[in-house]
Structure 1
Amino acid sequence: MSIKYCSSCGEKVDGSVKFCPNCRSTSFKYHVEPAKVKPTLIQSLFYWQYNGKFILSRSKTSAILLFIIFAFAAVSSPIPAGMILLGLIVSLIVYLAGYLVHILKGRPTDAQLENSDLGFIADLKNMFFFWQNKRTGEYVLSKTKILTFAVYILIALIAMGSNRVTIGASFLVSIVFTAPVYAVGFVVHKLTNPNPENPRIEQKPKKPKVEKKRQEPIPEPTPTPEVSIDEFEDYRRELVRVKEVYAKKETHARELIDKKFEPPQMTNTKFVSVVDSSTKIFNKEADSISSIISLATEKTPRVEEQINKKFEVLNSLIDKMDDLINELVLSLDSSKKDDVHGLLDEMENLVDSVKNYE
């Protein structure tokens, strides 16, 4: 069931009603429920989930990486079973400590969730080398993390070159020396600049001081004619229509993907990620249209031009979703051979074309 909110009084109503039962207004803001997404194996192992959105878990990632390092050290250890057991214990302690912090911190901000789940490799890079601004979701390069990583590699190389420590053990030894470096930098970061901003963003120039002049009587403002509520009604109706069309096609596409490639196949994950990207862009552009319609004071040519451009993006995304559905329907025909590689090539082109709209 679709939900919408009255623009005048904020009342939550069913999506099928024509006017608000509270104030009789015909202007609404629409709310689209996010599609439920099944987590992949990578997301289950390394991510936390919040209402269908995923963010990389530091505690899970650290625990798994620590266990891998211990397992690597066990290869050359005289007691490999003991080293593996020690790795399990240390990894479990790290995970439980991180999980406790995760529970105490609570839910991440919407900005953080919108700028997460960018791909496992990209998320690892951001976790190891960047700080994230909680308010904007922006990633800013971290000097502390880069220094910690450099010290870790340097100590590991020195340990390996000493001929007294095995290769696996050298990575464990490096952790002991680099952990205090990161801890000090993390504390300094939280105390001095917990929400860093990218320095390349231009700062607004300061306004020059203006000398005070003798105050003169302020003329009464000329009243401006009120804008009719129905002035943007055609755009509102069109936005409702394209949202309904896209929602149906998105649901159909997800059903066909699950039917053709049962989860957790890698192919299923790839197709679902394309649909998720398309839906994310669609909702962003649709919300932008709603904001313009709600905030515009009059229907000027420039306002109409911006709205029409965004409607072109929405319709293009609907066409791309049609292409995806047609490819999946044709590939389901048992009389034809499954050409997965050709279908993936088509989807790669779809991803590239969708990214051009961002």
Structure 2
Amino acid sequence: MSGEITKAQEIKRLTTPLTFRQSKAYDCEGNLISCVETLSEVRFIIEPREGILSDDEIMQYAPESKAASAIKLKRGYGNISDALLVHESLPWYLGLYYVILLPISMMVVYARNTLMTFIILILFIIPLIYAYFALNVKRYRNKPQKPKKQVQNKTGEVHAKQEIPVEESLDSLKEYDVEVNNLKVIFDVKEGVVRELIDKKFEPPQLTNDKFMTMIDSCHKLFYSEVDSAQNITKLAVEDTPRIRDELDGKIRNMKTIINQIEDLTNELVININSDSRSENDVEILLDDMENLISTVKDYKE
């Protein structure tokens, strides 16, 4: 089936917001989307089909998918949330396993059978070892480094090729670099979708279209201002201090708030795309909220 589907079709499927009917989610092609349930939340995520998009394209167009989390882990900068998403069923299987094993172990202990007690102990430990191995993100980050290229000079002596030093963030602050990069991908995708919906709802040239596009432009400028500021902080910081972390946390919160506002506007446009009665009023309210958000973030920056 993958040979019949173009990249453009797959990208459109991944970036078009879901539609909900009778508490069920569907993509733009009408395919039912299963919910992803972790320990902390329940989400509906469109997973990319295999063999159509490259890893970089999956990261760009489906950054919240299980496939993207697997790529981030493979590349060594995933976090525990990515590991839990990839192994979403593991906590539930472990819970069921121990619910069954616990009463059996109590019976064995009560019977004072040494051999069976030892076996039960092993049965308790093995799943925990597997869970630790599956969810331990450090094992992805500690991959062996590629050997340096070697060059041979005219005398036949072999030397390691000198590499140009690259300015890097403090190790303790690299988590912020990873999160900022992830948020950039998410914002770019959602910004592209909302611009298409605005053009569809308010076909240009219209004053309403111009007004909304100007607001999206302001959000874009503000978002990337926060991105640049956060990246400069992590790049120039010579020490990891509470003040540095508070400033970076504030930048991250602002980015997430802007993304949430873009997503709210997208959802409202999707819901009311064919409505004439209430869409403009509801969307105008969201527009006012976005204007207030921009003013608030600007005040924070000053």
Structure number with higher helix proportion:
2
- The TM tier, using the shorter chain, reads 0.3 to 0.5
Higher relative contact order (CA closer than 8 Å, sequence separation 6+): 2
TM-score by length of structure 2 reads 0.43
Find the structure with the greater CA-based Rg: 1
TM-score by length of structure 1 reads 0.37
